Chains A and B, each alone.
Chain A
Amino acid sequence: MRDYEAVIGLEVHVELKTASKIFCHSSTAFGGTQNTHVCPVCLGLPGTLPVLNRQVVEYGIKVALALNCEVARFCKFDRKHYFYPDLPKNYQISQYDLPLSYDGYLDYQTDDGRTHRCGIVRVHMEEDAGKLIHREGGKGSYALVDYNRTGVPLLEIVSAPDIRSAQAARAYLSELKTVIQYTGVSDCKMEEGSLRCDANVSVRPRGSDVLGTKTEIKNLNSFRAVEKALEFEIARQIEVCAAGGRVVPETRSWDEEKGITVSMRSKEEAHDYRYFPDPDLVPLVISPSWIERVRRELPELPAARRRRYQDEFGLSEYDARVLTAARETADYFEECVRQYPHPKVVANWVMGDLARLLNAAQVEIGECRVRPGGLAALLRLIDDGTISGKIAKGVLEEMFATGKEPQAVVAEKGLVQITDPKVLAPVVDRVLAANPGPVADYRQGKSKALGFLVGQVMKETRGKANPGLVNALLKEKLDQ
């Protein structure tokens, strides 16, 4: 195994969340009753014509810039021909030799903390196909077609063959997803198919600069599948090569259940797509001012944000990575810090108690009922002594469940910290009277006993007593 290295390139398709499809006014909403988000244009009825949705171009430029690509001043759409019932025109409108953008890169980190750079060959726009639904019945099996997805805008992002391991492929994909989510143009949900990935992989003797024969792996439906399928395929190819055999150029499909890749079709059977410029669409001219406007509107990207969290907030690299993994989390964190300027404290709460609650309830941070302002207010209540940190955890849970403000929760449940010595003195007296043993221990120099007594007072006050004040009062009485 060590004598070989893998060469991997990924082709990623991302569905853009524009309101309408790329060439017509039909809705792009996911799901929906079959064949209801359709119109004569996306059904390819005779006589209909495509009209480009400019929002798709805008989103495409956004992603291209986020991936450090050159945006073409002039690009065009081409027809890619193949007969398949999920493709109403039996050609797909895509971009062939003049794509929207090209020559970019993406930096990503593997689990060992090393940073890698992967080239982006091109980012282009195209229309999605429909979905076949296979059924059994009547004279045998048959298929139904749902055209709701037909014409949903896609970006195809083609990486250079710069990735060297299955783990790195996963890390690249993960960073790519984060970057695209930051641009806000796609949900990037692999389970809903809004992010799809095909992998090209070959192996070669380590140190060689010649590319081996590649295979293409399809049907990768999760990050885990990408990693597992590549692991399998790399091992398979190395085995073939080590035994003196030759890798066959082919398209293979990942079988999730069996954990293997299986041959789908050889490259000799590959389609001749007969690309040619779509005469129904005019070439697209993108002005420099359009590109610059999109560049100005580009949000801060995850890499920059991670750096800033370390430099400006003094967070660890790990914390910065966790907080920026999703744009919503980072936005939440920063809004909270704006209202409560103690980044480390906020980071601990967001990554700790809040993350735990979100996980347990399977809620996205965007839908969380504790808004950043609420969390900031809660943290201020700790600082001003209204509640203890321990009480605050319970308050957060209540806020999470009910959406109430922390002040309201504290007031309703009577959780305000007891900071009045006149109120606490009788409790202290009671505890001292009830615990002669520990009192004697303390007076004999066993300072540990103080902790026990503090605990007893806290118990009596159901945690509401100000721990510092309790400490002071006890010491005062015991040292008399």
Chain B
Amino acid sequence: MDLYYLPAHELHRLLVRREVSAVEICRAVFERIAAVEETVRSYLTLDRDGALARAAAVDRELRAGGELAPLAGIPFGIKDNICTRGLVTTCASKMLHNFVPPYDATVVERLNAQKAVLIGKTNMDEFAMGSSTEHSAYFATRNPWDPNRVPGGSSGGSAAAVAAGTAICALGSDTGGSIRQPAALCGVVGMKPTYGLVSRYGLVAFASSLDQIGPITRDFTDCALVLNAISGHDARDSTSAPGEAVDYTSFLVDDVRGLRIGLPREYLDSGLDEGVRQIVKEAAAVLEARGACLEEVTLPHTAYALPAYYLIAPAEASSNLARYDGVRYGYRMPDQDNVIDMTRATRRRGFGAEVKRRIMLGTYALSAGYYDAYYLKALRVRTLIRRDFEQAFEKFDLLLAPTTPEPAFPIGDKTEDPIKMYLSDVFTLAVNLAGLPAVSLPGGFLNGLPVGIQLIGKPFAEGTLLRAGYTFQQSTDHHRRRPPLGGGGVSR
């Protein structure tokens, strides 16, 4: 198989055996980019020279007899809302079109410490607000399985890159499903870790109490390796969880015997494609056949997750995005008479429609007279949703659910109707409200499009997710299928 389609752990083995060099891997990925990027359009920024230099440094170290870290020499795509020192970080917004961070996000520092090779910054919905990557201020990313369809979002560029072979691994961020939903639609593994497991320092905030960075990879071994690299306490993030480092690869065992897995009734009863429902049931059967115990469970407040999410996330966003005023960095609307006009004009021109919609929603929810009825009530609902999960986890180790109601939808299908778009995340956002870890993995295909299944775990039980996901992938080969991407043209 082509180098660019191998998972990181296999590339690592080839590197260590000197069967391939890091520069060769890097070149293979850039050749792949040259062939398919015009079709997929995953990247906002590519750093070919920097990447090749970093790869060459890995080769030098290898020649000098150094031990290679598991991710050394592995080409990475980083979502463009994660700060990279010296490399423009736009959040796919006009507002930050020229913002070059003077510092690296903690996760970038940690990947750099392993000598992973950052190759570029991936496209996304502006400020991570969206589920299709169509809300990028620059261009839409396309689904490698069908370029007329969306890759999901907001981490659509990262998921599409891993699926298309234009990155080996990628980082995304997940506020209401932004890693899992595009991973599902692109047929890759995308994990949202427990809130607090991965430092948010350097992640441009959308909704601080929900945001979490996580890996997008081809299989669970890579997922564990990336998680090993990026997780762990960071003193620069007050919400970062304390605790000793965990070796997540130790959970990669092909065995789910005795694991109790709940199937949340509310996620399977309504509002999803019959084919997706079937795939979830088949996945349940696979795990059951391997010795897991499956049973239905109820999460009674599920219906309130979406409305609560669309109060809490915009409320925090309206605050987090207040800093973009044209005064210190980023876009500034020129030739204004005073600072108030400048701030207004800058925000009017610098933000896209979806971002402005959410800022207005959130501003409203926090306003005097509405705070109690909206924001505070949403916080109460959040507590109820967390309790639903706590109760479920008294009986179960894991929950199995669909990731999305349907496979990838056509480009333009939902852009006119925000509510339709928001419903793409209906199965993912409760997990963010509860702060839980969850992972989407390829569960099957419908009409040639990948369908994701979602495993949800207890807080800090990423290991259990890895164990179940790894076992599932030992018994299935959905994750080994590659999109039918030539280097060829796309119908528009």
Give the interface of A toward B (CB within 8 A): 40, 43-52, 79, 81, 83, 85, 88-91, 143, 145, 272, 274-276, 279-282
Which segment, of B28-36, B58-66, B101-109, B249-257, faces chain A? B101-109
- Would you call A40 and B103 a contact (CB within 8 A)? yes
A89 to B323, CA, bound (A): 4
Is B462 in contact with chain A by the CB < 8 A criterion? no
Cβ–Cβ contact A47 & B239, under 8 A: no
8 new A-B contacts at CB < 8 Å, known A49-B236, A276-B315: A40-B101, A40-B102, A45-B101, A45-B103, A46-B101, A52-B238, A274-B371, A280-B239
Which A residue sits closest to B104, measured CB to CB?
A: A47
Residues of A within 8 A of B209 (CB): 279
Please give me the 9 A-B residue pairs with the lowest Cβ-Cβ distance, nearest first: A90-B322, A279-B209, A279-B208, A274-B366, A46-B204, A47-B83, A47-B202, A89-B323, A47-B204
Least CB separation from A147: chain B residue: B328
> Is the CB–CB distance between B327 and A276 below 8 Å?
no
Q: What's the least CB distance linking A273 to chain B, in Å? A: 8
* A276 contact from B323, B340, B366, Cβ within 8 A: B366
A40 to B99, CA, bound (A): 13
One of B203, B238, B325 near A51 (C-beta < 8 A)? B238
- Residues 300 to 328 of chain B near chain A (Cβ within 8 Å): 315-316, 318-319, 322-323, 325, 327-328
Q: Which of A44, A45, A49, A276 contacts B371, CB < 8 Å? A: A276
Report whether A46 and B363 are in contact in the complex, using a CB–CB cutoff of 8 Å.
Answer: no
In this assembly, does B375 line the interface, its C-beta being within 8 Å of a C-beta of chain A?
yes
Q: Contact residue range for chain B?
A: 35 or more
Q: Which residue of A lies closest to B344 (CB)?
A: A83
In the complex formed, the residue of B with least CB distance to A83 is B343
Query: With A and B bound together, what is the CA distance between A89 and B321 in angstroms?
Result: 8
Asked if residues A51 and B235 are in contact (CB atoms below 8 Å), the reply is yes
| Complex CA distance for A373 and B101, rounded to whole angstroms | 56
Known: A40-B103, A81-B319, A85-B327. A46 touches B91 (CB 8 A): yes
Interchain CA distance A51-B236 in the complex, whole Å: 6
List 5 A-B pairs, Cβ < 8 Å. Answer: A46-B205, A48-B202, A50-B238, A83-B325, A281-B238
User: In the assembly, what is the distance between CA of A89 and CA of B102, in Å?
Assistant: 17
Given contacts A83-B343, A279-B316, A282-B239, A47 and B323 within 8 Å (CB-CB) = no
Q: Chain B at the A interface: mostly helix, strand, loop or mixed?
A: loop
CB atoms of B322 and A89 under 8 A apart: yes
Is B89 in contact with chain A by the CB < 8 A criterion? yes
Q: Is the CB of B325 within 8 A of A90?
A: yes
Cα distance, A272 to B318, chains bound together (Å): 14
Q: Does B204 lie within 8 Å of A145, measured CB to CB? A: no
Q: Would you list which residues of chain B between 93 and 151 have a CB under 8 Å from chain A?
A: 96, 99, 101-103, 105
The CB with the most chain B CB atoms within 10 A, among A45, A79, A279, is that of: A279
- Interchain CB contact under 8 A, A272 and B367: yes
B329 at the interface (CB under 8 A from A): yes
For the residues of A in contact with B, the DSSP-based class is loop
Query: Is residue B237 within 8 Å, beta carbon to beta carbon, of the partner chain?
Result: yes
Most buried by B among A47, A52, A143, A272: A47
B477 to chain A, nearest CB (A): 39
Smallest Cβ-Cβ distance to A145: which chain B residue = B327
In the complex the two chains form, what is the Cα distance from A44 to B330 in whole Å? Answer: 13
Contacts of A51 in B (CB 8 A): 235-238
Query: Which residue of the partner chain, among A46, A89, A276, A280, contacts B375 with CB atoms under 8 Å?
Result: A276
Question: Chain A residues with Cβ under 8 A from B238's Cβ?
Answer: 49-52, 280-282
Smallest CB–CB gap between B112 and chain A, Å?
Answer: 16
Residues from chain B with a CB closer than 8 A to the CB of A279 are 207-209, 239, 316
Interface residues of B (CB under 8 A from A): 81-83, 89, 91, 96, 99, 101-103, 105, 200-205, 207-209, 235-239, 315-316, 318-319, 322-323, 325, 327-329, 339-340, 343, 363, 366-368, 371, 375
A132 closest partner in B (C-beta): B339
Bound complex: CA A408 to CA B203 (Å)? 67
A46-B322 in contact (CB<8A): no
- Distance between A380 CB and nearest chain B CB, rounded to angstroms: 55
Q: CA separation between A90 and B359, bound complex, in Å? A: 14
**Contact (Cβ within 8 A) A85 B325:** yes
Known: A46-B96, A49-B236, A276-B366. A79 touches B319 (CB 8 A): yes
Chain B residues closer than 8 Å to A81, beta-carbon distance: 319, 322, 366
- With A48-B201, A276-B315 already in contact, the answer to whether A43 and B328 are too (CB < 8 A) is yes
Report the minimal beta-carbon distance from A161 to chain B, rounded to whole angstroms. Answer: 23
Q: Determine if A91 and B339 form an interchain contact, defined as CB atoms under 8 angstroms apart.
A: no
A47 with B101: CB separation less than 8 A: yes
B83 touches which one: A46, A143, A276, A282 (CB < 8 A)? A46
Contact present for A47 and B322 (CB under 8 Å) = no
Measured between beta carbons, the chain B residues less than 8 angstroms from A43 are 328
**A62–B273 Cα gap in the complex (Å)?**
62
| CA gap between A450 and B105 in the complex, in Å | 90
Complex alpha-carbon distance, A49 and B323, angstroms:
13
A38 to chain B, nearest CB (A): 10
Instruction: List the B side residues contacting A48 at CB < 8 Å.
Output: 201-202
- Could you say which residues of chain A place their CB within 8 Å of the CB of B363? 274
Question: How far apart are the CA atoms of A281 and B318 in the complex, in Å?
Answer: 17
Q: Chain B residues near A44: list those with CB within 8 A.
A: 323, 328
Chain B hits for A91, CB < 8 A:
319, 322
Once bound together, how far apart are the Cα atoms of A81 and B89, in whole Å?
Answer: 25
The smallest beta-carbon distance between A222 and chain B, in angstroms, is: 29
Nearest B residue to A86 via CB reads B327
**Residues of B close to A276: CB separation below 8 A:** 315, 319, 366, 371, 375
CB neighbours of B319 from chain A (8 A): 79, 81, 91, 274, 276
Q: Give the one of A40, A88, A276, A281 with max B CB within 10 A.
A: A276
Query: Contact: A88 with B201, CB < 8 Å?
Result: no
Residues of B within 8 A of A83 (CB): 322, 325, 340, 343
Q: Which of B81, B105, B328 is packed against the most chain A CB atoms within 10 Å?
A: B328
B327 CB contacts on chain A under 8 angstroms: 85, 145
A85 to B339, CA, bound (A): 8
A105 to B238, CA, bound (A): 33
Contacts of A88 in B (CB 8 A): 323, 328
A274 to B317, CA, bound (A): 13
CB-nearest residue of chain B to A41: B236
Q: Which residues of A contact B99 (CB under 8 A)?
A: 46
Q: Are A47 and B325 in contact (CB under 8 A)?
A: no
A460 to B318, CA, bound (A): 87
Residue in A closest to B211 when the chains form the complex, CB atoms? A279
Name A282's closest neighbour in chain B (CB-CB). Answer: B238
Within 8 Å CB of A280, what residues of B? 205, 208, 238-239
Cα distance A85–B332 in the bound complex, in angstroms: 13
Shortest distance between the CB of A162 and any CB in chain B (Å): 28
Q: Are A45 and B201 in contact (CB under 8 A)?
A: no
A residues near B83, Cβ cutoff 8 Å = 46-47
Contact B205–A47 (Cβ < 8 Å)? yes
Cα distance, A48 to B339, chains bound together (Å):
24
Give CA–CA (A89, B328) in the complex, Å: 10
A-chain residues with CB within 8 Å of residue B96 when the two chains form the complex: 46
